[in-house]
Structure 1
Amino acid sequence: MPQASDYRVILSNFALFLPVHHFPEYWHRLSQPDLWSIGTSINYVKYQHKQVVDVCIPSAEALLVNPFTIRSTLVFWATEMSVTKGANLMSYLREVDDPRKPSNGTLHDFVEMLVIAVAAALSDCDTVEDIAYWARAKEAWLRKFLLLTNGVPSEETFLRVFRVLDPKQFERAFRRWVGGIVGALSGNIAVDGKTVRGSGSGNETAIHMVSAFATDLGIVLGQEKVSGKSNEITAIPELLEALYLKGFLVSIDAMGCQKKIAARITDQGGDYLLAVKGNQPTLLEAIETAFIDQHQSEGVDRQHAVQKGHGRIVGQIASVLPAQGIVHLADWPACKTIGRIDSLRKVADKESELERRYYICSRVLSAEQLAAAARAHWGVENRLHWILDVSFGEDGSTIRKDNAPQNLSLLKKIVLNIIRLDTTNKTKASLRLKRKAAAWDDDLRMNMLGLSRR
């Protein structure tokens, strides 16, 4: 029987009007509400105290966080959500099928292995060898939460499981966990790719991961594996399809500047900010011409900024124009703004370098908002890719076989999210130090993972 701590918690002052025949398909109630009455066409449920419900289908999950847009028959009052990060994650991990064949004999519980891997990775373990060694060292602590009927798994067992674990199922559980956390929020999502260099060797091509990164929270929302950067175009729509985009501004570099991708974002209730380069020559020329023609016009909104530091000076001018009436933009879904950012970089005694970037956006943006959104997108390099390389040693990993590189990449992103979402550690320590703190402090680790004693 699932435990209450495994599920989403709905706080008090929550009311729902719902057609009678729809209620069972949306939620299975694990506890009775204080008031339950049935009318001729609606169920009325009011939660005076904390109650627990299990989301049964994806549309119900979206309904909880976005009640006013899914069905006109629904009304929510003062809805508030509280998700216990660790426990909620563990409940989603139970949805992943055990990939091992029963006929081969299985000594260790599959979900317990995933829990150990997450706890170890949170505790500054970057390799499968680290995970297995940590599990042996912390076996007594792990037994407070897990059965460990046959002790802790070996390095070979962990590696074998990560090689055969279905990455699609692992990714789906990850997205559902994150979706429950960020669904009620809005902000910017940066979509960008990174090659996991250590996953390639000889004739084997290194895998390339396209990630969706919520820039405000600093967490990963999802990832898709592709064989190389040139294939990002096919991976991006698949990644976006599985995400909750309503209210978010999705930024993508020029590789993703495609009409189908723009349509995917707007169809899901989001807005796009797409970089425009030579892969869209007609569009690029139309935007360049518009800014030349309107150079002195009062219709151009501009923002000037100067940044100094690390021996360099960067001056930036962001400019925006309404997209209405500009040739070749009519075919781009709901395009409302075109933008240009000029960056002049001066480093010590070197010659100044000018870089000019163009954008299209389905949202009306000011120059200041464009500059902020562009900075947020560029930040994915330092706040995600660099962190994965330096703090998690992703590029140094020599694991290359089967599904292991993709699954271990996702494991690192799970830990990154747990740390970025953690409210138990109030210090402003670096992510590296927070992982070490989780390794040193058993109570801190327990709280960050949301574990409860058996």
Structure 2
Amino acid sequence: MPSCQPAPGMSTAPFDPERCDISSLLTMLGRVPDPRDPRGRIFSLSFVLAVTLVATLTGAKCLRELGSRIADLPQPLLVRLGAPFDHFHGIFRAPSEKTVRLLLKTIDVDALDLAFGAWLFAQATRAWGEQLAIAIDGKILRGAWSGENTQVRLLSAMLQGKGVVVAQVRVPDDTNEITQVADLVGKLPETLGRPAVTLDAVHTQHDTTDVVVKAGMDYVLTIKGNQPTLERQTFERILPLLQEPPHHEAEERGHGRIKKWRTWATNADGIDFPHAATAGVIRRDEFDLQGARVSREHALILTSAPGGRATAAYLHTHIRGHWGIENEIHYTRDTAWREDANPTYTGNTNHTLASFRNLAIGVIRLNQIRRIKETLEYIAADRYRALPLLVTACNGPTR
């Protein structure tokens, strides 16, 4: 089958964009509610959102850079994204920075997150028979202030193993992320089977576990000192296990260190916590290359998954996978787009920019590419390179 992928040595020479079918992406973008007045509207919503995504894929970090990168998009690429033709000047038009700025400020960002998340989820899980695991974690946009002493906070859900965000909500200024788990879970796309939802210790709350279990999913929680009675009960339950050989072991070598994980699991008898079925502990030892131990840590785990499913390997995989949301999403947005240094604060703009960065990371990862920053630099050198990524994400072979 012919491919629309440009040749590896190609710079900005035109190729045939009509062979690149990005209709799935454009259809999804067109379903987002349009906040603009229909009178005098020049550009379709899907087109403005599409060029914003492409500019984000070039590494544009702020509204000024978005406007500049959009203005530089070549004519054939604008045509493929849905640009209108300006008969007076004889060219296809691109939206101005002012147009993009106003749209990102006023758009229904909750609807935007729903559309992005559902589309990425559909692409990531096509014919994927593995048991799903979803990591939930919050992030503060440190450069974005919604008040004199209040920073913008977002709570996100990421597919473990895929590194794509499938749901996101804004945490209201007068509350914390614990109260928003129910809203986030309610916005997750419908899934098959019984996915695992991993959360850090701050979410070890009765209401949170009820929300997750009632949604047809299993929680996997880390237990720490914010719940001292629960921590003590869990520790007493797993303490005898530490005298046994580990039920699961894993080892990694890198960066001048040897890391070993040993995991034990048992039933949660005697632990007073809603829906708790299995308790476990993960011991993490770190050694230098000569074999001298540098550190040792223990993590106490509770899950609603029963023992037949919640093996020691299950606990190890899901707890380690949970921290992927920090490394693969939050850290990536900070390093590739300098998100924490962005002082944007008007309207929904800061949240909207984060949503576009999630979508950009998603389409890159769906193409089995892990080096996000290098990919943004690659696309910035040749804007045509963004188009095949969108095609492969939408229409690539079924896994």
- Give your verdict on TM over 0.5: yes
Query: Contact 1:391 / 1:431 at 8 angstroms: preserved in 2?
Result: yes
Query: Contact 2:48 / 2:100 at 8 angstroms: preserved in 1?
Result: yes
Displaced runs of 4 or more, over 6 A: 347-351
Distance (Å, rounded) in 1 between the aligned partners of 2:63 and 2:163: 26
Pick from 171, 196, 199 the counterpart of residue 113 of structure 2: 171
The verdict on how the C-alpha distance between 1:149 and 1:377 changes in structure 2, with shifts beyond 3 A counting, is same
Whether 1:233 aligns to 2:174 is no
In structure 1, the residue matched to 2:377 is: 436
Q: 1:389, CA displacement in angstroms? A: 0.6
Query: Contact 2:220 / 2:301 at 8 angstroms: preserved in 1?
Result: yes
Alignment of 1:26-37 (within 5 A): none
Question: Aligned letter for 2:63?
Answer: V
In structure 1, the residue matched to 2:45 is: 110
Q: 1:346, CA displacement in angstroms? A: 5.3
Pick from 123, 136, 139 the counterpart of residue 181 of structure 1: 123
Distance (Å, rounded) in 2 between the aligned partners of 1:109 and 1:85: 18
Pick from 330, 334, 341 the counterpart of residue 282 of structure 2: 341
Pick from 22, 29, 50 the counterpart of residue 93 of structure 1: 29
Query: Contact 2:136 / 2:158 at 8 angstroms: preserved in 1?
Result: yes
Query: Contact 1:273 / 1:362 at 8 angstroms: preserved in 2?
Result: yes
In structure 1, the residue matched to 2:6 is: none
Q: Deviations over 1:346-395 (max 9, x none)?
A: 57999944322111112232223322221111222221111111112211
The TM-score with structure 2 as length reference comes to 0.80
Distance (Å, rounded) in 2 between the aligned partners of 1:159 and 1:195: 22
Highest RCO, 1 vs 2 (Cα 8 Å, sep ≥ 6) = 2
Q: 1:111, CA displacement in angstroms? A: 2.4
In structure 1, the residue matched to 2:221 is: 274
The verdict on how the C-alpha distance between 1:432 and 1:292 changes in structure 2, with shifts beyond 3 A counting, is closer
Distance (Å, rounded) in 2 between the aligned partners of 1:126 and 1:264: 36
In structure 1, the residue matched to 2:303 is: 361
Whether 1:124 aligns to 2:124 is no
The verdict on how the C-alpha distance between 1:308 and 1:178 changes in structure 2, with shifts beyond 3 A counting, is closer
In structure 2, the residue matched to 1:328 is: 272
Question: Aligned letter for 2:35?
Answer: P
In structure 2, the residue matched to 1:76 is: none
Question: Aligned letter for 2:214?
Answer: D
Question: Aligned letter for 1:344?
Answer: D
The verdict on how the C-alpha distance between 1:265 and 1:89 changes in structure 2, with shifts beyond 3 A counting, is farther
CA RMSD of aligned residues (A): 3.0
Query: Contact 2:42 / 2:84 at 8 angstroms: preserved in 1?
Result: no
In structure 1, the residue matched to 2:151 is: 206
Pick from 336, 343, 362 the counterpart of residue 417 of structure 1: 362
Distance (Å, rounded) in 2 between the aligned partners of 1:302 and 1:268: 30
The verdict on how the C-alpha distance between 1:227 and 1:312 changes in structure 2, with shifts beyond 3 A counting, is farther
In structure 2, the residue matched to 1:32 is: none
Alignment of 1:10-409 (within 5 A): 86-102=22-38, 105-145=40-80, 146-149=82-85, 151-182=93-124, 185=128, 186-200=131-145, 203-227=148-172, 231-243=176-188, 244-245=190-191, 246-296=193-243, 302-323=247-268, 325-329=269-273, 332-333=274-275, 335-345=276-286, 352-363=294-305, 364=307, 365-409=310-354
The verdict on how the C-alpha distance between 1:208 and 1:240 changes in structure 2, with shifts beyond 3 A counting, is same
Distance (Å, rounded) in 2 between the aligned partners of 1:266 and 1:107: 47
Question: Aligned letter for 2:233?
Answer: A
SS at match of 1:444: helix
Query: Contact 1:342 / 1:354 at 8 angstroms: preserved in 2?
Result: yes
- Which 5+ residue runs of structure 1 have no aligned equivalent? 1-83
Structure exhibiting the larger radius of gyration computed from Cα positions: 1
Question: Aligned letter for 1:98?
Answer: D
The verdict on how the C-alpha distance between 1:123 and 1:85 changes in structure 2, with shifts beyond 3 A counting, is farther
Q: 1:443, CA displacement in angstroms? A: 4.8
Distance (Å, rounded) in 1 between the aligned partners of 2:180 and 2:288: 37
Distance (Å, rounded) in 2 between the aligned partners of 1:278 and 1:206: 26
Q: Percent identity?
A: 25
Query: Contact 1:87 / 1:449 at 8 angstroms: preserved in 2?
Result: no
Q: 1:85, CA displacement in angstroms? A: 9.2
Query: Contact 1:206 / 1:227 at 8 angstroms: preserved in 2?
Result: no
- Which 5+ residue runs of structure 2 have no aligned equivalent? 1-19, 87-92, 395-399
Question: Aligned letter for 1:320?
Answer: A
Q: 1:197, CA displacement in angstroms? A: 0.9
Query: Contact 2:165 / 2:362 at 8 angstroms: preserved in 1?
Result: yes
Distance (Å, rounded) in 1 between the aligned partners of 2:339 and 2:163: 18
Query: Contact 1:123 / 1:438 at 8 angstroms: preserved in 2?
Result: yes
Distance (Å, rounded) in 2 between the aligned partners of 1:376 and 1:229: 31
How many correspondences in the alignment?
A: 358
In structure 2, the residue matched to 1:25 is: none
Q: 1:340, CA displacement in angstroms? A: 1.1
